[in-house]
Amino acid sequence: MDLSCFKAYDLRGRVPDQLNPQLAERIGRAYVEVTGAKRVIVGYDIRLSSHEITDALSSGLMAAGADVFDIGLCGTELVYFATSHYKMDGGIMVTASHNPRDHNGMKMVGPDSRPISSDNGLNDIRDRVPEPFGNAPEQGRYEPLEVTTAYIDHLLGYIDSGSLKPMTIVVNAGNGGAGLVIDELEQHLPFDFVKVHHQADGNFPNGVPNPILEENRAATAEAVIEHGAAMGIAWDGDYDRCFFFDENGRFIEGYYIVGLLADQFLRKTGGGKVIHDPRLTWNTIDLVKAAGGEAIESKTGHAFIKQRMRDEDAVYGGEMSAHHYFRDFAYCDSGMIPWLLVAERLCQSGQTLSSLIDARIEAYPASGEINRTIADPPKVITAIEAKYSVGAKNVSHVDGVSIEFDDWRFNLRMSNTEPVVRLNVESRGDIPLMKEKTAELLAEMQRLNEEG
């Protein structure tokens, strides 16, 4: 039995050779036997294979004795919300997010929407799948569950609706599921939405929804300029990530959105803790401190961020990869709460998005994440650390290696899944220095790689 679809944090694989209804049914059984869950939320994305895989998964869950509450076609965050809001024992979202059209997968959570990953149960579920199953004392039941009304009410609770003003916003669902939520929110907001690639379509007629790819950004950027919009927003397929474009159609690096959201959220809460990843940090630390909060660094990855948020009771957490986490959202990530907060900020401040972001880019210019394929990533990272730690102000190993000097810093880390190293460089108000150090590090990495 091919179990290669099990990854570190979720399940992903091609349909039907790596993931199919037969395997999904066994995964459902294994999930119940390993977790002991009795009441499970199940939802699915717009992929063509999702409904069939969800039906099989639900059959397995019920065969193992669990009651299935089916919330239907949705985004990942609705599974998170429903599992927590209705105090279920767990939840499973059938999705492959931004992966190719012929792929599918699952994201699993336990009580309170705590993530189930390889270090807390996912490997146990994987190992249980091929084993023989017994008969449950009693078959579980199936019940459709309507969660949209409660979810929309929850989203609107993050903003002061009275402070909102009419403005034009471009929204690009990428033919994923985000459009369904925008249509619901539209009834409660004074915004004029320009809808791009809006209809949910698992054929992905405009390509797989993944705005991190530069070739997928033009449609949003062009619509912003054409319609004179205040900003543009684009989502991946299961809309747990959102990406921003300013009023000039410029794509904004996720790093600067983390700082903006931290500042906006701390203004509301009057302080609190904010979790951030180690790749780019200075802008976030600066804004959090100025807003009376405490910035705390965590290893990159949703399981690490969510756990650290729980440990610290943090109000907000952000990764530059466009994942944003909220304490009142069961410490989970949402692709809808961030844009609502940014829209509120634009209305309240009267500023343009570019003016809010430009000041931060000027203060802390950054390279953005640069990936390089390396034959021996640990060797290269060790050599870079040995060279650059001499005379450094601080060296950290929270995730990869972060080396800090008075006026610039960088983080170098390797991928968990491929022979790639990821570099991020930033400086204090010095764009030429940031570019110089970025080029210098890339050249050194290439030299070390060629030396073997």
pLDDT of the residue at 417: 66
pLDDT of the residue at 415: 85
- Give the whole-angstrom CA distance, residue 207 versus residue 215: 10
> Rounded to two decimals, what is the model's pTM?
0.96
Confidence of residue 56 (pLDDT cuts 50, 70, 90): very high
Contact at 8 Å (CB) between 172 and 207? Answer: no
- DSSP one-letter string for 231-297: EEEEE-TT-S-EEEE-TT-PBPPHHHHHHHHHHHHHHHHTSEEEEE-SSS-HHHHHHHHHTTEEEEE
Confidence of residue 119 (pLDDT cuts 50, 70, 90): confident
Question: Is the predicted pLDDT of residue 272 greater than 80, yes or no?
Answer: yes
Listed in sequence order, the DSSP H helices in 36-169 are 50-63, 76-85, 122-128, 148-156
Lowest mean pLDDT among 79-93, 264-278, 414-428, 437-451: 414-428
Percent of the chain with pLDDT over 90: 96
Question: Is the predicted pLDDT of residue 262 greater than 80, yes or no?
Answer: yes
CA nearest to 241, candidates 168, 185, 320: 320
- Give the whole-angstrom CA distance, residue 231 versus residue 241: 16
pLDDT of the residue at 418: 76
CA nearest to 231, candidates 356, 76, 377, 116: 356
Order of strands across the sheet with 192-196?
Answer: 192-196, 168-172, 231-235, 242-245
Sign (positive/negative) of CA torsion 197, 200, 206, 212?
A: positive
Question: Is the predicted pLDDT of residue 81 greater than 70, yes or no?
Answer: yes
- Give the whole-angstrom CA distance, residue 323 versus residue 87: 24
- Give Dmax over CA atoms of the chain in angstroms: 69
Lowest mean pLDDT among 95-99, 384-388, 425-429: 95-99
Tokens 């903003």 correspond to 159
Q: What is the mean pLDDT of residues 203-208?
A: 95
205 exposed, middle or buried (CB, 10 Å; 0-12, 13-18, 19+)?
A: exposed
Q: What is the mean pLDDT of residues 277-283?
A: 97
Question: Is the predicted pLDDT of residue 452 greater than 80, yes or no?
Answer: no
394 alpha-carbon distance from chain centroid: 29
Q: What is the mean pLDDT of residues 361-387?
A: 96
Give the active site residue among 49, 84, 97, 298: 97
> What DSSP character marks residue 93?
E
Is-catalytic flag, 97? yes
pLDDT of the residue at 387: 97
pLDDT of the residue at 361: 97
Contact at 8 Å (CB) between 400 and 300? Answer: no
Encode burial over 368-382: b for 16+ CB neighbours within 10 A, e otherwise.
Answer: ebeebebeebeebbe
Question: Is the predicted pLDDT of residue 331 greater than 90, yes or no?
Answer: yes
Alpha-carbon dihedral of residues 150, 309, 397, 378, nearest 10 degrees?
-30
Q: Are strands 242-245 and 293-297 parallel, antiparallel or unpaired?
A: unpaired
Both tokens of 181, joined, read 């939520």
Both tokens of 346, joined, read 């634009």
